[in-house]
Structure 1
Amino acid sequence: MSELFDEVDEEVRREQLKKLWDKYSIYFIALMVLIVAAVGGWRGYQYLEAQKAAEAGAAFEKAVELSEQNKHAEAEAAFTELAVKAPRGYRTLARLRAAAEAAARDPKAAVKMYDDIAADSSAGAELQALAKLRAGGLLIDTAAYADIQQRLEASAAAGSTFRHSAREMLALSAWRNGDAATARKWLDAIAEDGETPPGLRSRAEALQALLPPVAKS
């Protein structure tokens, strides 16, 4: 008797499942189609992005080769095009290289390009700081200390990635603008930082020797 009831229950379950399938199968099939389409679309997007990255990488290397061959105008044009068309990961690097190529022909234009990168938050803090440093390097011979300070003082703070170079530029700018006390302040910061690179430390010591002696009280 129990076997009979089991068979009846099984039949009832099958009938219920059939009714549910008949009622909701279209929704289930539609959901499956959407999932397959979404997965396929994502994989397709990943493939296209990988292709774009590979093409941008090859174009970047070609632009670097042009620069190494002293074809700076062509290299600048290539980097400028990449800065517009390349995937995000290459854009800021291309903008930095385009500015570097422009520096030889038009330092003012290069400074403007670096300043644009420094003001662009999408570039990321590290590359923004690097752009400020590069612009400061182009202005070090002509700009007032206040200008260099405004550009680089934040980068000279303890723990900053580019603090060593920023401090050196600030010291050099102060010295060239006749401010020995400020130059000495930055040279002391260089000397007291245990992570200062040896070459930069040597240059700082040489500049320190050019400063007038501290007046005795």
Structure 2
Amino acid sequence: MSELFNEVDEDLRREQLRKIWEKYSLLIILVAVLIIGGVGGWRIYSHFEAKKAAEAGAAFDRASELSEQNKPAEAEAAFTKLAAEAPGGYRTLARLRAAGEAAKRDAAAAVKLYDDLIADGSVGALEKDLARVRAGALLVETTPYDTLLAKLEPATTASGTYRHSARELLALAAWKANNAGETRKWVETLSNDPETPSSIRTRAEALQALLPPAAKS
């Protein structure tokens, strides 16, 4: 008897499947095609992205070689081209390197490139801080302290990767502006940060020794 019931159940299942297939066969085929196409498309996309990354890496190496060969104009052109065409990670790095090469011929042009990076919402905070510090290094000799403070202060936060360099530049700029109070503030900030590199700490101590006694009290 149970075998008869099983056979009936099996027939019912087959009939239900047949009706489902007749009703939804086109949809099922379409979904299957889309899944297969999606998997294939993703593999193609991944392949081309990997190829683009490899090509960008090779182009970056060639541009770096031009820089090492003391060919700043050619290196700058190569990095600029890479910045326009490369995938995101290489693009930002190439822009930083292009600005670095530009600094060898024209500090103002390099600062403009760094400022463009800082203003770009697609650039990460780490890269922006690096651009701030590099621009600050070019400007410290000629720029008023308050102007440099506005540019560099965002990079001086306690969690900033480049905070020590930014703080040192601001201490030096304040000293050049005869602003003993601001010089003292940045020197003490460097001294109180246990992660300040020894080379920067030594220069900060030397600068502190130049401050008038009232500023060190």
TM-score category, normalised to shorter length = over 0.9
Displacement of 1:23: 3.0
Match of 2:149 in 1: 149
Match of 1:80 in 2: 80
- What are the residue-to-residue correspondences of 1:93-104 with 2, within 5 Å? 93-104=93-104
Instruction: Give distance in 2, aligned partners of 1:195 and 1:118.
Output: 25
- What are the residue-to-residue correspondences of 1:184-199 with 2, within 5 Å? 184-199=184-199
Displacement of 1:94: 0.5
My pick for the range that moved more, 15-24 or 49-58, is: 15-24
Q: Normalised by the size of structure 1, how large is the TM-score?
A: 0.93
Is this contact kept in 2: 1:111–1:135, CA < 8 A? Answer: yes
1:17-60 CA distance string (max 9 Å, x none): 22332332222112111110011111111111111011001101
Match of 1:110 in 2: 110
Match of 1:59 in 2: 59
Is this contact kept in 2: 1:121–1:128, CA < 8 A? Answer: no
Q: Which amino acid aligns with 2:109?
A: A
Unaligned stretches of 5+ residues in structure 2: none
Match of 1:121 in 2: 121
1:144-185 CA distance string (max 9 Å, x none): 111111111222222222111111000100111121221111
Match of 1:204 in 2: 204
Displacement of 1:3: 3.7
Q: 1:176 to 1:19 in 2, by over 3 A?
A: same
Identity across the alignment (%): 62
Is this contact kept in 1: 2:181–2:215, CA < 8 A? Answer: no
Match of 2:171 in 1: 171
Match of 2:135 in 1: 135
Displacement of 1:88: 0.8
Q: Which amino acid aligns with 2:52?
A: K
Is this contact kept in 2: 1:140–1:169, CA < 8 A? Answer: yes
SS at match of 2:122: helix
Is this contact kept in 2: 1:140–1:173, CA < 8 A? Answer: yes
Q: Which amino acid aligns with 2:132?
A: K
Unaligned stretches of 5+ residues in structure 1: none
1:64-87 CA distance string (max 9 Å, x none): 111011011110001000111000
Q: 1:215 to 1:96 in 2, by over 3 A?
A: closer
Displacement of 1:188: 1.2
My pick for the range that moved more, 23-32 or 70-79, is: 23-32
Root mean square deviation, CA, Å: 1.8
